[in-house]
Amino acid sequence: MTDYSDLIQPDKGQDARPIHLVDKKSYDEWLKGRSARERAHLAAVGFKPDAYVHAILPGDDPDKWAVVTTVAKVDSMSAWCLAKLGQILPAGRYRLEGQHPGRALFGWMSAQYRFDTYRSKVEPKGPRVLLTSDVGAIAPLVAEMGAVALVRDMVNTPAADMGPAAIEKAAERIAKAHGGKLTVTKGEALEQGYPMIHAVGRAAAKHHAPRLIEIEWGKDDHPRVALVGKGISFDSGGLDIKPASGMRLMKKDMGGAAHVLALAELVMASGLPVRLHCLVAAAENAISADAFRPGDVLKSRLGLTVEIGNTDAEGRLVLADALAKAGEAKPELIIDFATLTGAARVALGPDLPPLFANDDALAEAMLSAGIDRDDPLWRMPLWDGYADLLETDIADLGNAGSSAFAGTITAALFLKRFVPDGVQWAHLDTFAWRPSAKPGRPKGGAALGLRAAWAMLQARYDRRGKA
């Protein structure tokens, strides 16, 4: 496992290879200051100041080479501006010449993430270390990278090894490490208290039995914040079975759980002054003689009855019971993460999670935090005009909309029914996966919306050092 604190180190003047940062505007002036040898080399390799290309600059000594890399704007670097270099440069120490790396420190670390758990042979590659004089930025960014890596690791792990019990173990580690209280409800207590979580997970094998996992942490007089995650460890679709192509990536359907556990650890490790309540509804949506059926009517923890229109719309069922539990403690804020709808991907693609919120100020804070962390979100409407699509003939509401349209919105409207009035609530329909690699963002499990939510919580609650 990578120790990300080794990848960013304080700049104390130690030996390091220089990285020169240029853009189209500054390149010509920078080039004038290079040696004739360096200019001839750049001309020979056809170097152009296009964004995110780089070249090695030879030195007088064979071991004294440097790097030049181009970005869109030298004075406005994103988290990903140095990610490609962090991924491909040889092991060693590097220093950015003439400026602070800023947000690009995160991408430098993220590019060195690897998931090699199941490989029989792993080619070792030494760390690429970036020096910075902004020492205060190191620990917070290392913590964020650790949280992102946790999400990636959990989502990348196959469902056989990341069932409800394994998710519980991850929660137990986090609670023990930071003095949180862990509560796990399963068996008959789950059936009685959280009937929809039980119904979704009851068809699974005993060692993948469903459960509600809770972590509580913080002082009672601090503002209460609830984080709720969908933890469907594998989604076959149930009796409304998915096609093989739709089932292939369903190990990632516990991505919401991974996000809230990682976010909870950030909250606890930083000592954020909140009363935290983290809830994960963990279950496997399997197929057996005891599977819940289309047409069944389930009674929720809140008391509302839900007619099952489609067993593949199970995530909202487990989330509903968890949201109801979170609301009982009367938090001032609830944030939930869920890999909830394919319609979200149709609308916004894999990289941009839809954000739903019942409060405009909360939505703006989330969007602004996403921009700040290069972890973008896009607000979508909680439009009550589609609420009638959840109506059903024999129950309080249905779990599947009666139309093929607006699937992401109707799913959010379903969840809204289980959020208490007066509680600020944000719902992120995250994909938790990258279908293709980008610098610093490998193919596979992905933390999408995590850093945005964390930045919002910091801005809202962390008053240390503020007058």
Query: Is 242 an active-site residue?
Result: yes
Between β-strands 54-57 and 66-70, what pairing exists: parallel, antiparallel or unpaired? antiparallel
Q: Out of 39, 114, 173, 242, pick the active-site residue.
A: 242
Q: Where are the beta strands (DSSP E) in 264-352?
A: 275-285, 297-299, 305-307, 333-338
Give how far Cα 425 sits from Cα of 185, 218, 334, 417, 462, Å.
24, 20, 5, 12, 19
Q: What CA–CA distance (Å, rounded) separates 391 from 411?
A: 13
Closest by Cα among 141, 140, 71, 72 to 106: 141
Among residues 95, 275, 301, 316, which one is catalytic? 316
Helix (H) or strand (E) run with residue 63 in it: none
Alpha helices in 311-420, H assignment, sequence order:
315-328, 342-348, 360-372, 407-416
Question: Contacts for 399-403 with beta carbons within 8 Å, 24 or more apart?
Answer: 399/306, 399/307, 399/308, 399/309, 399/310, 399/313, 399/314, 399/316, 399/317, 400/308, 400/309, 400/310, 400/313, 401/309, 402/309
173 annotated active-site = no
What is the Cα–Cα distance from 225 to 335, expressed in whole angstroms? 8
Catalytic residue set: 242, 316
